[in-house]
Structure 1
Amino acid sequence: MRRILRAYLLAWEMPELIDAAGLALTELIANVVRHVPGRRCSLLMLRRPEGLRVEVTDACPSPPLSTAVDELAEGGRGLLITEAVTDRWGWQPLTGGGGRTGKTVWFECDAKAQR
């Protein structure tokens, strides 16, 4: 997924976002692997006039873990890292018909102004 993200960012002429967006994407996918039964999710990458938005949607209705972590804990830093390397992040519960449950966790990275 990081390679795909990199290819899109290069095509969109936003190479400065590759490292931060790649790291944040890795952290969100790692959270799915660790915390979502069935380890399934969908990924949406959106080019925006101001940069990039990435959304990871899964079927687990539980909110993402807090960014407040124990310094000695072995895990729990994924969202802290995401917050540190992106311009914005957040989450929203899925709302829709058919009894569908889950959430979308997203982040945005702003592209640097062209000189």
Structure 2
Amino acid sequence: MGAHSARHLRRVLRLCLGRSGLSHVADAAELALTELVANVVRHVPGRRCRVCFLLQADGVRVEVADGCPRLPVAAEADALGEGGRGLVIVAAVADRWGVTPYADGRGKTVWFECGGTAEPPGS
């Protein structure tokens, strides 16, 4: 996955949301998706992940899964720093977000929801 991948994924997400009548969550979902993809590019060896868009009645759940066992941590970033704000931004624009580690310890899924009322599995 390269830095250009986020742009392509944003287009696909916006198209899916628009065709499903969910354009009202597109801006927030695109921003959160961009941050999660950027985290993969920065922190996952090999930059490999799987992305899933789950359309709900009034929103979307986006999942980004990778094979890196390190769990992400939302940290307060230095106001003048160049990074460290990804999960803070996700938390600000999404209605819900979280991390589900794989049972075998070999990776995780980072997810967020914009709109929608479905509870995430395992909650």
TM-score (ref. length: structure 2): 0.82
Q: Deviations over 1:34-82 (max 9, x none)?
A: 0000000000100112411000000111111223223332210011111
Q: CA deviation at 1:27?
A: 0.3
State the partner residue of 1:3. 11
The residue correspondences of 1:58-97 to structure 2 (distance < 5 A) are 58-96=66-104
Q: Is the 8 A contact 2:74 2:85 kept in 1?
A: no
CA distance in 2, matches of 1:58, 1:9: 24
Gaps of 5+ in 2: 1-8, 117-123
CA distance in 2, matches of 1:67, 1:9: 30
CA distance in 2, matches of 1:92, 1:79: 15
Q: CA deviation at 1:13?
A: 0.2
2:115 is the counterpart of 1:110: yes
The residue correspondences of 1:43-58 to structure 2 (distance < 5 A) are 43-58=51-66
CA distance in 2, matches of 1:24, 1:39: 18
Q: Is the 8 A contact 2:25 2:114 kept in 1?
A: yes
CA distance in 2, matches of 1:21, 1:47: 12
Q: How many residues of Structure 1 are paired with residues of Structure 2 in the alignment? A: 108
CA distance in 2, matches of 1:19, 1:35: 24
State the partner residue of 2:121. none
Gaps of 5+ in 1: none
Greater relative contact order (CA < 8 Å, ≥ 6 in sequence): 1
State the partner residue of 1:18. 26
Q: Is the 8 A contact 1:36 1:60 kept in 2?
A: yes
